[in-house]
Amino acid sequence: MAHYTDNLTQLGQQLGAPTDPDSAVLERVPNPHADIDYVARFTAPEFTSLCPVTGQPDFAHLVIDYVPGEWLVESKSLKLFLTAFRNHGAFHEDCTIYIAKRLRDLLAPRWLRIGGFWYPRGGIPIDVFWQTTEPPKGVLIPDFGVATYRGRG
């Protein structure tokens, strides 16, 4: 197996969370299997941000899939990046897409998509889905598998 840990600067260290998304540093590591098209999925059920109008907290369950090219996202920096939305105001559609674009710009992936499943406000939750392109031919991509909101009963 390949060993690709040389340039990791955050894994195994205690780091303070960045205070807003723009200042958060996303890191990348070389993809040891760049010879093939495979998918890496991150599932983040612990996402929270603020409503830019009311200042009240919002919550979301995020699923991020990508086909790496030369780079993998370093997972601890991804966690810190997502944590940086904690006290930052952003609309649901915008926030979801912004996260995806940051990863796209960092990784130049062969393909990337995001699903943002937001907790209900006013009884009607919003979900947001985007992929950068159609998936590369012959790549295996399972469904998100997140349950549709159903209220009670």
Q: Does 2 bind Ca ion (CB under 5 A)?
A: yes
Query: Of 13-21, 23-31, 112-120, 131-139, which segment contacts Ca ion by CB under 5 A?
Result: 112-120
* Secondary structure (3-state) at 112: strand
Q: Which amino acid is at 110?
A: R
Is 74 annotated to bind a ligand? Reply is yes
| Inter-residue contact 68 to 34 (CB < 8 Å) | yes
Applying CB under 5 A, does 12 fall inside the site for Ca ion?
no
Q: Is 32 in the site for a second copy (CB under 8 A)?
A: yes
Could you say whether residue 144 binds a second copy (CB under 8 A)? yes
Is 73 assigned to a binding site?
Answer: yes
Task: Give the DSSP H or E segment for 72.
Answer: strand 71-73
Position 152: which residue type? R
CB of 88 to a second copy, least distance (A): 9
Q: 34 with 25: CB under 8 angstroms?
A: no
Q: What is the DSSP letter of 62?
A: E
Instruction: List, by residue number, the catalytic residues.
Output: 51, 58
Residues that bind Ca ion (CB under 5 A): 1-2, 32, 120, 123, 151, 153
